[in-house]
């Protein structure tokens, strides 16, 4: 059986955090929308790339994924709270679900998020867990 798929992406921009202030006016809303769309596209393309590397071989089919888990690696030990860190990954989750061809309603988070410091390589690792 293939290993779970681990998608590594940059720490999401603070401007798409659920607690971020978008500012006032249409321009501020449009900026946040562009940033969100960029994050979603990045996650979708990275997922498709990894699926191609791991599963698009003769005789190998893409397995069903039961859900995901998040591991956050921040530049400093001053971590974001778990709600905001996970909420900022919503665009990533949407992009991954698009790449898998599923509705994100049926793509649950299966484990508590983890947080660590990695000053040299801040990132989010999204692990896609295989269905039994």
pLDDT of residue 80: 75
Query: Residue 36 corresponds to which tokens in the numbers above?
Result: 């969100």
Looking at the chain, the number of H-run helices and the number of E-run strands are: 3, 4
12: pLDDT strictly greater than 70 = yes
In DSSP terms, which residues pair with 115 in a beta bridge?
72
Q: pLDDT averaged over the chain?
A: 86
- Structural domains of the chain ordered from first start: 5-130 (3.30.1330)
pLDDT of residue 81: 81
Q: Decide: helix, strand or coil at residue 20.
A: coil
CB count within 10 Å of CB 109 equals 14
Buried b (16+ CB within 10 A) or exposed e, 76-91: eeeebeeebbbbbbbb
State the burial class of residue 57 (Cβ atoms within 10 Å of its Cβ: 0-12, 13-18, 19+).
exposed
Q: Which of 7-11, 68-72, 76-80 has the lowest mean pLDDT?
A: 76-80
Cα gap 32→44, rounded to integer Å: 18
- Hey, which of 8-22, 77-91, 106-120 has the most confident mean pLDDT? 106-120
- Please give the share of the chain, as a percent, with pLDDT higher than 90: 49
The kind and range of the H/E element at 44 are helix 26-55
Among candidate residues 125, 48, 41, the one with its CA nearest the CA of residue 85: 125
pLDDT 10s digits, 71-101: 999 998 876 788 889 999 999 999 999 998 8
102: pLDDT strictly greater than 70 = yes
């Amino acid at each position: 059986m293939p290993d779970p798929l681990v998608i590594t992406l940059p720490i999401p921009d603070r401007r798409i955090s659920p607690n971020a202030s978008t500012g006032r006016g249409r321009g501020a809303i449009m900026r946040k929308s562009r940033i969100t769309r960029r994050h979603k596209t990045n996650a979708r393309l990275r997922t498709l790339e990894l699926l191609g590397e791991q599963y698009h071989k003769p005789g190998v089919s893409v397995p069903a994924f039961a859900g995901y888990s998040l591991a956050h690696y921040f530049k400093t030990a001053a971590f974001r709270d778990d709600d905001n860190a996970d909420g900022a990954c919503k665009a990533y989750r949407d992009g991954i679900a698009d790449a898998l061809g599923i509705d994100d309603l049926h793509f649950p988070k299966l484990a508590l998020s983890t947080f660590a410091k990695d000053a040299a390589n801040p990132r989010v690792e999204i692990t896609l867990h295989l269905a039994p």
